[in-house]
Structure 1
Amino acid sequence: MLIGREKEIQELRQAYDSDESKFVAIFGRRRIGKTYLVREVFQDNFAFTYSGMAQASTKEQLQRFYLTLKSQGFKGGAYPNNWIEAFYMLEQYLEGLPEGKKVVFLDELPWMDGPKSSFMPAFENFWNAWASARKDILLIVCGSATSWMVKKILKNRGGLHNRLNNQIHLQPFNLHECELYAKSINLPLERQEIMEAYMVFGGIPFYWSLLNKSLSLPQNIDTLFFGRTPKLGNEFKELYSSLFKQSEPYLDIITALAKKKIGMTREEIITNANLATNGQLTKYLEDLENCGFIRRYQAIGSKTKNALYQLIDNFTLFYFKFMEGKKNTDANYWSKIQMASIFNTWCGLAFERICLLHSEQIKKALGISGVITTEYSWRTAATDEHSGAQIDLLIDRSDKAINLCEIKYSDGPYTIDKKYMENIRNKATLFRQLTKTRKGIALTMITSYGLVKNSYSMNNIHSQITADDLFMDA
């Protein structure tokens, strides 16, 4: 059963219904559901489908490609010696099929492109010289190695330049989609539990599929990460090694960014990750951004060259906080820390990230969905003139207003007292003073369960957002 993905489903169906041959590329991080999407949309009604093999030689790939062709009805002879011959066999097989649209699905395409395999010229020739000249081929390619997909397919400067008809960047589920998915597999989770699961797994469908409905959420997390044989114990290393052939510099960047909540400039990344000052950093950052691990944003008043790169992947941040460098032998660790300060502090920070990732839902709740915005955190260090300040989330709007958002995660309605109200006002004053913004500042509270009604919440807060608002379908 497909949850969400309405836009992607529509794109695939439109490509199938076209009177011309179409070439579609689907990319996204590991475990995001690329293969599942294609198989569900077409119900396995493929003219031909093949999935590249990890760490296989070109000879092994060609042998498996040929055997797959044979299993699906090809009557040809000997094994192909190269990819040119392999794709020629595919052409012969497809030409022998009855009239009608023929869906060719090549999964994990990057794995087929081995060293000195000459895969790409053969693949380009298959599409350019044969498939695109027909009217009955829908070619769909997928790959978890996002950097390869972007370089070799989306931004190809060779034979596939401008030949791609559709590109689908599959994104993680939002809270609304996670709630729908949890219900579809009968997980008895309330919204607070879904929120806390999202803090760990993000919106990666595969991780959610591992949850056992007979266990509580803390028990599930113990089993998956802290048990004797945890299913996701090595997921972090496998995740990055599957996406990037040389994962070390990417991990160095991620490790550096994990240390600073609001993000770092390029110069700070170079210093903290101990990287060379060359053009490779741009590629690394673009790859990480395409995978959804980081985001690039411009803080108010800063120059383009001082853009910040912020780590936003929930699973990665969970790993660094509770697993990296820790030899935890307690199989019930997560269950035991549920009332501890380390858990409560982490929930507060993770809730801030969730709000950032659900800015469209926040905008919808505020009634500003149609307004162009930029979202970012803001911090200034203490000086002799002021005590410094940190703002959780700023929504900088094109209609000459800024929502200054304070984010609080708690088990019940949050109470604003005199001291806290003064703190918010001081932040707003300092922000206006240092940024010299002339926009109106609207004080906005984002909380788990709303605010306790008192003079401060009713007379000083311009708008309130609750966790329920983040579950909207925006």
Structure 2
Amino acid sequence: MKFVDRVEELKALGERLDSDIFELIVIYGKRRVGKTRLVLEAVKEREHVYYLAVEGDNLRHFKRLASKLVPEISYAQEDWEAYFNFLKGKVVVIDEFPNLIKEDQKVVSLFQRAVDLILGNTGTKLILLGSSISMMSDRVLSYKSPLYGRFASMKLRPLKFFHLREFFPNLQWEELVEIYGFADGIPYHLEKVKPPFWKWLEGELKRPDTFLKDELDFLIKYEFSDVTTYKKILEAVALGKNTPKEIREHLKAKHSDITQYLKNLMETEFLVKRVPVTENASSKKGRYFIGDNFVAFWFRYIYPNLSAIEEGIFDLGEIKKDCANYLGMVFEGIARQFLIELNRRERLPFKFSKIGGWWHKGEEVDLLALNEREKKALLVEVKWRELSERDIDRILGDLGRKAELIGLEGYEKYYGIVARRVSEKDELIWDLKDFQEVDDHRQS
């Protein structure tokens, strides 16, 4: 299994592991994002106990595992305080900590007591990992938690698009965009792909044991017990229903309150809510989007075709004929990452401090980058296709028109394009060929 990026996270973990004081480190993030791999990489040269919590009988299982490093623990009574007395000065990693909470609601308080009475003045390193974002946020990270104020926390996020080159060093950018549209930056899903992408996907969909049939249920059931309504909402958003009204209509629940469902899906990062970059966070113009390309791909292409996939008669052409439309949305997210990389390197006409989409009454700008202090704006159209000179002229002219609608009076305005391919290059017109320079600089 290839270990990619995570340089800053590894450095931060290493500094805490090297300290001579007690450290409680909480690492959380969605399933499959690479938490376990990160921690095992950080502790691989150190004596440690790594325990993956299960749904029951964890005290007995933990004792048996820990006794391999500290044989004396075999004689300890089965409780966490007794165990930690034997593990002082050691590195202890407990993965899927939410399973301990499910088994014993008092376990967070028990760990707090052990930290305060046994571990606090030792060099012990206790690392707790959790994939249930909702449970980790509520029971461990919240100010209501008994452990609050006693830990350093790290939220692990998906890898960025440009990190895919480290997984697939020989692929062209076009295929990397296709893979990112399927797997996002989730290491588990990226490692499943064996290029060429479309050939691999066709073979995977024909497998009777393909992970694609059950993967979404595996992910969503970890957060929610009653998944039916949540899946219907995610399906609606994946199909372009981005407002609460549109989602309710898709669910045929016009008078139902889905606010709490949306809140839960955002908390667990299945959904994100975005507002026009010129608006404040509470704007009523907010729209909901799927928070992960894999989830979006699954609901758009796998979920509606599960029966055909199960029977082995699904035609990959069903995905291919629509994929350009789908990748257009994916490419917007990639273009945003590309512009942020250019911004860091000061390769734009100005340094922006805000970037996002803009929309109002049927008018949209894919990306609007702003420096409000200097009153400068960059409007960018993103296209997953080849653009002719005529296309470019038309798009740039339309961006000028939209700048007036946004209300950027007094701003110095710039206009740009990010496309799959362009026939005419200019300072603010980019295509996939320009990604190479950014990638070279990132790896240098």
Equivalenced residues, count: 430
Cα distance in 2, alignment partners of residues 113 and 302 from structure 1:
37
Indicate the residue corresponding to 2:32 in structure 1: 31
Which secondary structure does the structure 2 equivalent of 1:304 belong to? coil
Cα distance in 2, alignment partners of residues 195 and 113 from structure 1:
39
Cα distance in 2, alignment partners of residues 437 and 225 from structure 1:
53
Counterpart amino acid of 1:316? V
CA contact (8 A) 2:96 2:129 kept: yes
Cα distance in 1, alignment partners of residues 200 and 181 from structure 2:
14
CA contact (8 A) 2:28 2:133 kept: yes
Which secondary structure does the structure 2 equivalent of 1:160 belong to? coil
Cα distance in 2, alignment partners of residues 41 and 111 from structure 1:
23
Structure 1 residue runs of 5 or longer lacking an equivalent are: 96-100, 382-388
Structure 1 pair 230–377 and aligned structure 2 pair: CA distance change class (3 A): farther
Which secondary structure does the structure 2 equivalent of 1:209 belong to? helix
How far apart are residue 322 of structure 1 and its match?
1.0
CA contact (8 A) 1:391 1:404 kept: yes
Structure 1 pair 197–423 and aligned structure 2 pair: CA distance change class (3 A): closer
Indicate the residue corresponding to 2:369 in structure 1: 395
Indicate the residue corresponding to 1:443 in structure 2: 415
Alpha-carbon displacement from aligned partner over 1:356-415 (angstroms, at most 9, x marks no partner): 45552253474378531131242533xxxxxxx3322222333322222111223xx521
Kindly report which structure 2 residues correspond to 1:381-460, keeping only aligned pairs within 5 A, or say none: 381=362, 389-398=363-372, 399-410=374-385, 414-417=387-390, 421-422=393-394, 424-433=396-405, 435=407, 437-449=409-421, 451-453=422-424
User: Do structure 1's residue 150 and structure 2's residue 128 form an aligned pair?
Assistant: no
Cα distance in 2, alignment partners of residues 8 and 303 from structure 1:
29
CA contact (8 A) 1:27 1:170 kept: yes
Alpha-carbon displacement from aligned partner over 1:24-54 (angstroms, at most 9, x marks no partner): 111111111110111112116343221111x
Which secondary structure does the structure 2 equivalent of 1:32 belong to? coil
How far apart are residue 140 of structure 1 and its match?
0.8
How far apart are residue 144 of structure 1 and its match?
0.9
Indicate the residue corresponding to 1:294 in structure 2: 272
Indicate the residue corresponding to 2:157 in structure 1: 171
Alpha-carbon displacement from aligned partner over 1:436-467 (angstroms, at most 9, x marks no partner): 65433321110123x213xxx76xxx612223
Among all aligned residue pairs of Structure 1 and Structure 2, give the percentage whose two residues are the same amino acid. 19
Which secondary structure does the structure 1 equivalent of 2:430 belong to? strand
Cα distance in 1, alignment partners of residues 157 and 264 from structure 2:
19
Cα distance in 2, alignment partners of residues 150 and 369 from structure 1:
38
User: Do structure 1's residue 310 and structure 2's residue 289 form an aligned pair?
Assistant: yes
Indicate the residue corresponding to 1:125 in structure 2: 113
Structure 1 pair 208–415 and aligned structure 2 pair: CA distance change class (3 A): same
Cα distance in 1, alignment partners of residues 400 and 191 from structure 2:
43
Indicate the residue corresponding to 2:300 in structure 1: 321
Which secondary structure does the structure 1 equivalent of 2:188 belong to? helix
Alpha-carbon displacement from aligned partner over 1:111-169 (angstroms, at most 9, x marks no partner): 111255422211221222221232x11111111111111112222413212111x2211
Cα distance in 2, alignment partners of residues 259 and 437 from structure 1:
36
Indicate the residue corresponding to 1:463 in structure 2: 428
Kindly report which structure 2 residues correspond to 1:236-275, keeping only aligned pairs within 5 A, or say none: 236-248=216-228, 250-260=230-240, 263-264=242-243, 274=253
Deviates more, 1:32-41 or 1:155-164: 155-164
In the superposition, the TM-score normalised over structure 2's length comes to 0.85
Cα distance in 2, alignment partners of residues 296 and 119 from structure 1:
37
1:205 to 187, 193, 196: 187
